[in-house]
């Protein structure tokens, strides 16, 4: 190959060496270097100056100059003329030194004394060519860097084995809120929203190890400030150009798609929500209803489908305009919502029609309470555009699974019931199944009546004596509540206690009973009646009230009664329900000196062994076991065993519902301690009870009274 116009700068202080090079060049140049020129500089400073003035094709550089020596010399030249190939001239045949010269920029090195015309020619030729391609590469790298930096998209390079960022551009920094330095200490994993980590984390691994060449995903990154940003990430692997093609970098391009995602979300919302009220629309409601139905089914609960239609909404629209109509619908949605529980679902399914799911019902009638609340919520006028509008609603309900199990049928039934509500004068609710209407109306009446009952003095206490089986003497009396209903007459607990338990009003009743019993006991004591222990039934609700034990102690103090006079009856199921809470409450009570009995024993699933851990003094065997003892040998065996075990555990055993002499005989035989039942006495009014107690029946309750 012939190189024309070659310009050589020789930086060499030794004149003989310089001459030799010149000679060798001209020797080689005869054939290959057409009209080459050689310029000589005798020191580094000279050389640098020459480079400043002219341009050269190649620099031959002696590494031992008067003003600089070694690799330093090379660095200085590189600084000055990075684009010109440099060949180092060295007197040392030291490979390591030469290799270092090459690593910091020299294209080649020649050992003085071993240079021939040919080797000089080859070295110059290769150096020029290599420099050229080096510059080309640098140029393309530079272009890549510029593109990387300036493209509007986030760009990054990461380490394929760890996922750590090794290069990030400004847009990526802006996108994530981190500085470049901060990002360089993070990896993909740390800036990806945990919900968007691939389920199979090895997916990262696969990408990084080069098993997955391309990767395109929409994921959430975490901005430095903590919020999520949606991005589209395209990643690819940069590989080594050698045969192994080992991945050296992960290259990623990241687009911010947060706005697009938000729009998508809005579109989804719009497809599922009513734009006016923001409530779910019919489509979403059906989806939600299906979920609720499955849940009700699983939990063995009921749920009500409600169809609500405003009465005379059209008139409002026609009279006050659509805007007022819209405003009214919004207000209506708010009022309905307020009447519902969190677990209920409401949707606007068109015009002035709303659908509601009342979920998680134990009894169908439970939904009547909510329907009534909704009807009542319409009582106050709506303030719309300066007008007070009186608007009412008609409501129809159907109940899953009682009325049907099919959703469409239930909707239809609720709709039919709603029309029925319109027919019966609007502004009311109706069940599809009319018997629930009757039932729920009664119930609602009873419920509000019960709330008044205490204030109206309609609650009464009856007292049923408990007698010692051996002596036949009364030892105690159980207070049993009655409701003297103004219309229905004297109601027994079964007529109102379950309802009171459901609504939570039972705690108020129990508190009233406790106080009334203590007041009564005090009066009897003051009247000189023989002291008698009194037992009071407690519902599980009151037991969950913290501070319950101290409220009992307060009542006892106020009435001045010794705590030993009071027995509290709790049911077996309650004792087992929340064993920890029960144990601590019972411990406090027994510390007070109040005695605890387990009521209706045998109807739950507790083992005596378990009850042993609670401070229980008395066990009342449920009436259902006593009823058939004359005929059922199983019941006899059970009672026998219970008595023996209870005695073993130092508990007294009381038989409930003893009605016959033969029952009593058996109980006496097995050593049962006390009895309660019609055989001895029915529950009595306070007056009747005083007669019985005062009638020579000396009470002996064993409490040292």
Interface residue list for ligand C2E (CB under 6 A)? 464, 480-481, 492-494, 497, 506, 509-510, 513, 537-539, 569, 599-600, 623, 656-659, 676-678, 683
Among left, alpha and beta (phi > 0; psi -120 to 50; other), residue 526 is alpha
Q: Considering only residues 605 through 664, tell me which ones interact with Mg ion, judged by CB under 5 A.
A: 656
Q: Which is nearer to ligand C2E, 506 or 701 (CB)?
A: 506
Q: Does 572 bind Mg ion (CB under 5 A)?
A: no
Q: Does 674 bind Mg ion (CB under 5 A)?
A: no
353 binds, among ligand C2E, Mg ion, none (CB under 5 to 8 A by kind): none
Site string for Mg ion, 126-145 (x = CB under 5 A): --------------------
Peptide bond into 401 cis (omega under 30): yes
Q: Which is nearer to Mg ion, 8 or 626 (CB)?
A: 626
Cβ proximity of 573 and 535 under 8 Å:
no
659 binds, among ligand C2E, Mg ion, none (CB under 5 to 8 A by kind): ligand C2E
Q: Which of 17, 352, 600, 674 binds Mg ion (CB under 5 A)?
A: 600
Q: Does 537 bind Mg ion (CB under 5 A)?
A: yes
Q: Does 415 bind Mg ion (CB under 5 A)?
A: no
Among left, alpha and beta (phi > 0; psi -120 to 50; other), residue 305 is beta
| Segment interacting with Mg ion, rule: CB under 5 A, options 237-245, 254-262, 563-571, 694-702 | 563-571
- Compute the least distance from the CB of residue 497 to Mg ion, in Å: 11
Q: Which is nearer to ligand C2E, 48 or 552 (CB)?
A: 552
Q: Which is nearer to ligand C2E, 208 or 626 (CB)?
A: 626
Cβ proximity of 348 and 342 under 8 Å:
no
Q: Does 569 bind Mg ion (CB under 5 A)?
A: yes
Q: Which residues of 544-564 are buried (b: 16+ CB within 10 A; e: fewer)?
A: eeeebbeebbebbeebebebb
| Strand locations in 413-505 (E) | 429-431, 459-468, 474-485, 489-491
- Compute the least distance from the CB of residue 483 to ligand C2E, in Å: 10
- With a CB cutoff of 8 Å and minimum separation 6, the contacts of 311 are 391, 392, 393, 394, 422, 426, 427
- Compute the least distance from the CB of residue 583 to Mg ion, in Å: 21
User: What is the phi/psi pair of residue 83, to 5°?
Assistant: -85, -5
> Can you spell out the DSSP letters for 370-425?
HHHHHHHHTSSPEEETTEEE---EEEEEEEETTT-S-HHHHHHHHHHHHHHHHHTT
Q: Which is nearer to Mg ion, 178 or 601 (CB)?
A: 601
159 vs 167: CA distance, rounded Å: 9
- Compute the least distance from the CB of residue 648 to ligand C2E, in Å: 24
539 binds, among Mg ion, ligand C2E, none (CB under 5 to 8 A by kind): ligand C2E
Q: How many residues sit in the footprint of Mg ion (CB under 5 A)?
A: 5
Quick one: which of 668, 663, 602, 661 has its CA closest to 630? Answer: 663
Cβ proximity of 625 and 659 under 8 Å:
no
Rg for the chain, CA atoms, rounded: 49
Q: Considering only residues 269 through 308, tell me which ones interact with Mg ion, judged by CB under 5 A.
A: none
In this structure, the number of other CB atoms found within 10 A of the CB of residue 100 comes to: 16
Structural tokens at position 367: 């939904």
Q: Are strands 387-389 and 214-222 parallel, antiparallel or unpaired?
A: unpaired
Q: Which is nearer to ligand C2E, 134 or 495 (CB)?
A: 495
User: What is the phi/psi pair of residue 102, to 5°?
Assistant: -70, -40
- Compute the least distance from the CB of residue 522 to Mg ion, in Å: 22
Cβ proximity of 81 and 59 under 8 Å:
yes
- Compute the least distance from the CB of residue 651 to ligand C2E, in Å: 17
Q: Which is nearer to ligand C2E, 11 or 642 (CB)?
A: 642
46 binds, among Mg ion, ligand C2E, none (CB under 5 to 8 A by kind): none
| Segment interacting with Mg ion, rule: CB under 5 A, options 181-189, 533-541, 608-616, 692-700 | 533-541
Q: Which is nearer to Mg ion, 178 or 680 (CB)?
A: 680
- With a CB cutoff of 8 Å and minimum separation 6, the contacts of 604 are 571, 572, 573, 575, 576
- Compute the least distance from the CB of residue 529 to ligand C2E, in Å: 21
| Segment interacting with Mg ion, rule: CB under 5 A, options 244-252, 367-375, 539-547, 569-577 | 569-577
Q: Does 468 bind Mg ion (CB under 5 A)?
A: no
Task: Please give the residue ranges that form the binding site for Mg ion (CB under 5 A).
Answer: 537, 569, 599-600, 656
């Amino acid at each position: 190959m012939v190189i024309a116009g070659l310009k050589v700068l020789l930086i060499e202080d030794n004149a003989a060496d310089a001459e030799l090079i010149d000679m060798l060049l001209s020797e080689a140049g005869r054939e290959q270097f057409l009209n080459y020129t050689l310029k000589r500089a005798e020191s580094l400073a000279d050389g640098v100056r020459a480079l400043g003035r002219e341009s050269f094709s190649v620099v031959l550089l002696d590494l031992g100059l008067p003003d600089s020596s070694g690799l330093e010399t090379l660095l200085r030249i590189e600084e000055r003329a990075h684009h010109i190939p440099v060949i180092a001239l060295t007197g040392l045949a030291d490979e390591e030194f030469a290799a270092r010269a090459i690593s910091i920029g020299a294209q080649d090195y020649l050992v003085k004394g071993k240079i021939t015309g040919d080797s000089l020619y080859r070295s110059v030729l290769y150096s020029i060519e290599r420099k050229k391609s080096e510059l080309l590469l640098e140029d393309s790298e530079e272009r890549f860097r510029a593109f990387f930096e300036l493209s509007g998209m986030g760009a990054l390079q990461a380490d394929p084995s760890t996922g750590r960022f090794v290069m990030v551009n400004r847009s990526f920094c802006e996108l994530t809120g981190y500085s470049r330095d901060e990002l360089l200490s993070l990896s993909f994993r740390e800036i990806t929203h945990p919900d968007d980590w691939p389920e199979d984390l090895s997916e990262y691994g696969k990408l990084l190890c080069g098993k997955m060449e391309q990767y395109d995903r929409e994921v959430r990154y975490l901005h430095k400030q903590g919020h999520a940003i949606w991005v589209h990430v395209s990643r690819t692997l940069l590989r080594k150009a050698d045969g192994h093609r080992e991945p050296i970098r992960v290259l990623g391009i990241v687009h911010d798609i947060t706005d697009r995602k938000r729009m998508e979300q809005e579109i989804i919302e719009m497809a599922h929500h009513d734009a006016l009220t923001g409530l779910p629309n019919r489509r979403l409601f059906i989806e939600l209803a299906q979920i609720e139905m499955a849940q009700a089914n699983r939990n063995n609960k009921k749920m009500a489908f409600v169809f609500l239609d405003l009465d005379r909404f059209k008139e409002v629209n026609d009279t006050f305009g659509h805007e007022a109509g819209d405003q009214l619908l919004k207000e209506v949605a708010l009022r309905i919502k307020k009447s519902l529980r969190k677990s209920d679902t409401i949707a606007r399914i068109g015009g002035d029609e709303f659908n509601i799911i009342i979920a998680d019902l134990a009894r169908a009638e439970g939904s009547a309470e909510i329907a009534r609340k909704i009807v009542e919520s319409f009582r106050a006028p709506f303030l719309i555009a300066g007008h007070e509008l009186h608007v009412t609603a008609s409501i129809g309900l159907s109940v899953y699974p009682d009325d049907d199990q099919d959703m469409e049928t239930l909707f239809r039934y609720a709709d039919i019931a709603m029309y029925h509500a319109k027919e019966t004068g609007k502004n009311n609710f109706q069940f599809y199944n009319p018997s629930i209407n009757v039932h729920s109306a009664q119930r609602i009446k009873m419920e509000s009546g019960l709330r008044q009952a205490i204030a109206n003095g309609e609650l009464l206490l009856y007292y049923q004596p408990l007698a010692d089986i051996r002596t036949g003497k009364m030892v105690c009396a159980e207070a049993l509540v009655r409701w003297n209903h103004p219309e229905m007459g004297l109601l027994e607990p079964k007529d109102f206690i379950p309802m009171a338990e459901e609504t939570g009003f039972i705690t108020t009743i129990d508190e009233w009973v406790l106080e009334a019993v203590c007041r009564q006991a005090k009066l009897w004591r003051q009247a000189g009646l023989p002291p008698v222990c009194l037992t009071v039934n407690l519902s599980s609700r009151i037991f969950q009230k913290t501070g319950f034990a101290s409220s009992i102690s307060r009542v006892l103090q106020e009435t001045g009664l010794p705590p030993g006079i009071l027995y509290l009856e709790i049911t077996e199921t309650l004792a087992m329900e929340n064993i920890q809470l029960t144990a601590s409450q019972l411990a406090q009570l027994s510390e007070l000196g109040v005695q605890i009995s387990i009521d209706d024993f045998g109807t739950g699933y507790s083992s005596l062994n378990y009850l042993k851990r609670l401070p229980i003094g008395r066990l009342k065997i449920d009436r259902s076991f006593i009823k058939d003892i004359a005929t059922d040998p199983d019941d006899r065996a059970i009672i026998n065993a219970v008595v023996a075990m209870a005695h073993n555990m130092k508990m007294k055993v009381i038989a409930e519902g003893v009605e016959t002499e033969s029952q009593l005989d058996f109980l006496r035989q097995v050593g049962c301690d006390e009895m309660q039942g019609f055989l001895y006495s029915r529950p009595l009014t306070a007056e009747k009870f005083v007669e019985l107690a005062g009638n020579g029946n000396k009470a002996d309750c064993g409490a040292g009274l």
